[in-house]
Amino acid sequence: MQRIGGASAALQTAANTSHAKDRGAERRKEKRKRIERRLWCLRKKRYKLTIKYIRSYTSSMSRSPGRKQENHKISRELFVLTYGALVAQLCKEYEKDEDVNACLDRMGYSIGIRLIDDFLARSAVKKCRSYSETADMIAQVAFKMYLGVTPSVSCNSVTGNEFSLILDKNPLVDFVEELPAERASLCYCNLLCGVIRGALEMVHLAAEVSFLQDRLKGDAVTEIGITFLRKPEDRRHRRNK
């Protein structure tokens, strides 16, 4: 009887241990879910914060240059610092540079599809008749309005659908000296590519946008390539239809 009682006690102990392990596993699973939800909320808040400062910066840039110069400078510096903090946080969350680049591009795209309305309202520009006019508008009006710089524009193809925006100065890297060796593939300003792509898509211009040169990677200039995916002949053909 003592043996039977001992065996029963052992079985009961084993069952309790198993239940305890299951409960522990469930608690760890719930804790992991809570952490993931918090991280998601933080990413969402960070995205909204970036949008907020971009719109604030947009407002200050679009005002007359003679008004509130100091506030304008603070707004730009705050935006640049906020963007740097965003990139730093993404680098902590993602091990691969490609993942960080893709995330920045997606965020920029979401900003671009909203920013285009502000741009059209504040700039009162006329409709562009060619890809070259569009590229000039991006460089001479949009970049000047939002970043305070005017890139030079060059056409890179005979078909007239590939252009480069060349920046001698990039305000987004004012507080960045160089990329760490382990982040050699990082496109620090990839947000700009997404912004341009999203804004163009909202005016029915599909395009591929990417960095061709980057001063943070040792290049002489910063160069953004824009490839419009429909050839000019296709656009004329559609209008004639």
Where do the structural domains in the chain lie, given as residue ranges? Answer: 30-240
pLDDT for the residue 239: 47
Exposed/middle/buried for 139, CB within 10 Å: 0-12, 13-18, 19+? buried
Q: What average pLDDT does the structure give for the chain?
A: 80
pLDDT in tens, 119-162: 998 888 888 999 999 999 999 999 998 888 999 999 988 888 99
**pLDDT 10s digits, 79-90:** 888 889 889 989
DSSP code of 130?
S
- Please state, in angstroms and rounded to a whole number, the distance separating the CA atoms of residues 94 and 98: 9
For the chain, give the percent of residues with pLDDT over 90.
Answer: 44
Sorted by sequence, the CB contacts under 8 Å of residue 118 that are 6+ apart come out as 55, 58, 62
Q: How confident is the model at residue 196 (pLDDT cuts 50, 70, 90)?
A: very high
Asked whether residue 191 carries a pLDDT value surpassing 50, the answer given is yes
What is the pLDDT, as a whole number, of residue 74? 55
How many angstroms from the chain centroid is the CA of residue 225?
16
- The SS3 assignment for 57 reads helix
Residue range 30-59: average pLDDT? Answer: 60
The tokens describing 129, both together, are 């008749």
The H or E element that residue 84 is part of is: helix 69-93
Reduced to 3 DSSP states, what percent helix, strand and coil does the chain have, rounded to the nearest 5?
A: 65, 10, 25
Element (H, E) at 199: helix 190-202
SS3 readout for 13-24:
HHHHHHHHHHHH
In this predicted structure, what is the pLDDT of residue 64?
47
pLDDT at 20 (0 to 100): 61
- Span 50-76, mean pLDDT? 55
Task: Provide the CATH number for the domain formed by 30-240 in this structure.
Answer: 3.30.1380.20
- H/E element holding 155? strand 152-155
Whether the Cβ atoms of residue 149 and residue 170 lie closer than 8 Å to each other: yes
pLDDT above 70: percentage of residues in the chain: 67
Q: Which residue has the higher pLDDT, 199 or 52?
A: 199
CA distances from 197 to 6, 92, 147, 188, 190 (A): 73, 26, 17, 17, 11
Identify residue 147 by its one-letter amino acid code: L
The residues near 138 (Cβ < 8 Å, ≥ 6 apart) are 165, 196, 226
